[in-house]
Structures are given as structure tokens and as C-alpha cells.
Amino acid sequence: MINDPTSVPHYLVLLSGWQPYVLDMERVVMRREASRLLLAFARTRGKLERIDGDEWNMFSDAQNLSTLERGQARFYALVKGTETEHQLRLLAVL
């Protein structure tokens, strides 16, 4: 079992003109950069979606996103819930 579930990236957020945000399962920023491998993984595995809904309020507020920026922001969900422990460990190092 993963010792620290917050070490596994769950979301990759893209804002136009900015570096991507990598978020944990609680949508807290882990880092403000993503490797090429993580970007490729996100693009091949998921679909780009909007960051609307109440679950994104904390992230938007913490990053001081304007209404326009929030409307333009998109994310990939990196974890679907069916991953093995091994797959999650690999994802944690991307």
C-alpha cells in the first residue's frame, strides 16, 4: 500500500500561458511543473475537462484564479481508482 497517498498525483491542471499544476487527491498543489512523461500519460489516458463545480473552489481560490482564468482552465484526471499499487508508485515518480 502507498504510505503517503498525497504523494500520488491525481490531477493535472492546464491554464493557458502557465506551467501546469500537479494536484494530489484533495486538489492541493503538489508542484507547478509536470514532466513530459506525466503530460504524455495524461494526454493518452484521459480527456481534458473544465474545472467547474464546487470541488474546484479551494484550488481556484488558493491560486487566485479569476472567473475568466477558471473558465479557460482544464484538467486531466490521472487516477481512475482501478490502478494497482505498482501503477500508483510509478505514477508518483513521473
13: closest CA among 75, 78, 58?
75
Q: Give residue-wise pLDDT tens across range 25-47.
A: 999 999 999 999 999 999 998 88
Cβ(14)–Cβ(75) under 8 Å? yes
Q: Give residue-wise pLDDT tens across range 52-68.
A: 889 999 999 999 999 89
Residues of the domain holding 26: 5-93
Domain count, the chain: 1
pTM of the model: 0.90
- Quote the cell numbers at residue 51: 474545472
- Quote the cell numbers at residue 84: 494497482
Q: Give residue-wise pLDDT tens across range 11-22.
A: 999 998 788 999
